[in-house]
Amino acid sequence: MKKILITGGAGFVGGNLAIKFTEIGHEVVCFDNLVRRGSELNLNRFKQHNIRFVHGDIRNPEDFIGLGFKPDIVLECAAQPTAIDGYKNPYFDLTNNTYGLVNVLEFCRKNNSALIFWSSNKVYSGDLCNSVPVVEGETRFRWKEDDTFKLRGWSKDGFNTKLDLNGSEHSIYGVSKVAADLICQEWSGAFDIPVIINRYSCLYGPHQFGKVSQGWITWFIIAKILEQQLTFYGFKGKQVRDYLHIDDACDLTLKQINDINNHKGSYYNVGGGINNTVSILELNSLLDKMLGVDDPVLHAASRRSDQIIFISDIDNVCNDFMWKPSRNFKDGLSEIIEWVQNNISALKLLL
């Protein structure tokens, strides 16, 4: 049994991790400031599973003092997670995603705790990712077959961790994650803290309070069931992402917890990989068929730092932890549909 502290523990990722790991016998404490709307709905789930919840903010080191819990490992899931909002208030992104992370690392250093950090594919510049030549198909963009094009960190299997972190067009959110990502690596080396960094692509699953700017797969389902307007931002809805079910992310996290000392300071691109991809247009059509609707969508200009195609090359993380995504996409969507239909009243209050 491990003692596990989950910061951002009432969010989508943190809440699902807490339930899964409690069910298999680990002692879990969830730490969250409940700023994101919908996170408070996880508190009843925690009570049902006898999970201790602490109302605290990683930006305040004082909030860790009275925790009364010395974890073996901290799962750092706390963040301001949307790539759009940061342009309105960059200080908010940096204090939550960068400065707050330093407080978590210092807590780990003082308590001899290991750390797994939730980073993002937005650590990579949209301009750099979009430099790969593409061709437009009927429902999606694809990378162009061009043997003369070379980019360090890219292959036909996707983007790997050799991709340059430099440049602009990461978004303010992405920059805050770049800084936090590198700080994790530095603290791990300087203070011998076992740290693993996962640069996640699109996570999806039930209990995700998706919004236009974050959690878009779940947001599409919520919008269709609650009759909200959907908007495609640029690229005719043909931009492509790899997706990963939250249960697959939980499986990977468990493997990393059990083997973290052999991978100190490691960083990985994590997602569904080349075999689990979808365009916005394709997802919309699939959900229309599953729900028996034909909802019109609006089209708007692309947003700053948007990537036309981002697919994670997951070979390294699969090989290091003997892991691979296994959840079926349509089954995952069906789970979300059922969850939304069972929680319509609560979700309406969050719109």
DSSP string computed for 202-244 = EEE-TT---BTTB-HHHHHHHHHHTTPPEEEESGGG--EEEEE
At residue 40, the pLDDT reads 87
Judge whether 173 counts as a catalytic residue: yes
Least confidently predicted of 110-119, 211-220, 237-246, 252-261: 211-220
Residue 83 scores a pLDDT above 60: no
The backbone region for 86, taken as left when phi is positive above 0, alpha when psi lies in -120 to 50, beta otherwise, is alpha
Residues 6+ apart with CB under 8 A from 276: 242, 243, 244, 325, 329
- What average pLDDT score do residues 201-210 get? 92
SS3 content of the chain, % helix, strand, coil (to 5): 40, 20, 40
Domain residues of the chain, as ranges?
3-348
Residue 102 scores a pLDDT above 80: yes
At residue 320, the pLDDT reads 98
Residue 114 scores a pLDDT above 60: yes
Catalytic residue among 87, 91, 99, 173: 173
What global pTM score does this model have?
0.95
Q: Tell me the average pLDDT of the chain.
A: 94
User: How does pLDDT run across 239-292, given as a tens digit for each residue?
Assistant: 999 999 999 999 999 999 999 999 999 999 999 999 999 999 999 999 999 999
Question: Do residues 194 and 260 touch, judged by C-beta distance below 8 A?
Answer: yes
At residue 86, the pLDDT reads 56
At residue 350, the pLDDT reads 80
- What average pLDDT score do residues 202-211 get? 90
CATH number assigned to the domain covering 3-348 = 3.40.50.720
Q: For residues 250 and 261, what is the distance between their CA atoms, to the nearest angstrom?
A: 19
- What average pLDDT score do residues 162-180 get? 93
Residue 5 scores a pLDDT above 90: yes
